[in-house]
């Protein structure tokens, strides 16, 4: 799966998906793009999944008809040490998430 890691997540987190083609928004040239622009740019570049900690994206964006899915992480903070415990659940989500869907990992 081709995965885009949002710029609000530690760039080292991309190494948590070794069996997937994973890039950061910064590396892909998408730094500074807002949600709708980021989703469109990611689709054009062939990404299948956006990983973010932006909880608002599910209320601000309609993914119906989109070619990619969104995985929203809910760690205590966006520091790498708080993100890493979510990796097993992220990998499980990758097995079932489909284009146009949003999945939440971690939580309250």
Alpha carbons 5 and 3: distance in angstroms, whole number: 7
Output the pLDDT for position 108.
Answer: 55
Contact 54, 8 (CB under 8 A): yes
The pTM of this model reads 0.93
**Contacting residues for 74 by C-beta, under 8 A, at least 6 apart:** 53, 55, 104, 105, 106, 107, 108
Q: What is the mean pLDDT of each run of 10 residues along the chain (108 residues)?
A: 94 93 95 88 96 88 89 93 95 95 87
Output the pLDDT for position 43.
Answer: 95
Output the pLDDT for position 35.
Answer: 77
């Amino acid at each position: 799966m081709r995965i885009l890691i949002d710029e609000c997540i530690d760039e080292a987190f991309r190494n948590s998906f070794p069996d997937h083609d994973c890039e950061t928004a910064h590396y892909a040239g998408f730094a500074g793009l807002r949600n709708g622009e980021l989703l469109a740019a990611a689709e054009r570049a062939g990404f299948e999944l956006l990983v973010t900690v932006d909880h608002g994206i599910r209320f601000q964006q309609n993914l119906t008809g989109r070619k990619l899915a969104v995985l929203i992480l809910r760690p205590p903070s966006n520091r790498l040490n708080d993100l890493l415990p979510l990796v097993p659940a992220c990998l499980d989500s990758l097995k079932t998430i489909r284009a146009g869907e949003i999945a939440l990992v971690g939580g309250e």
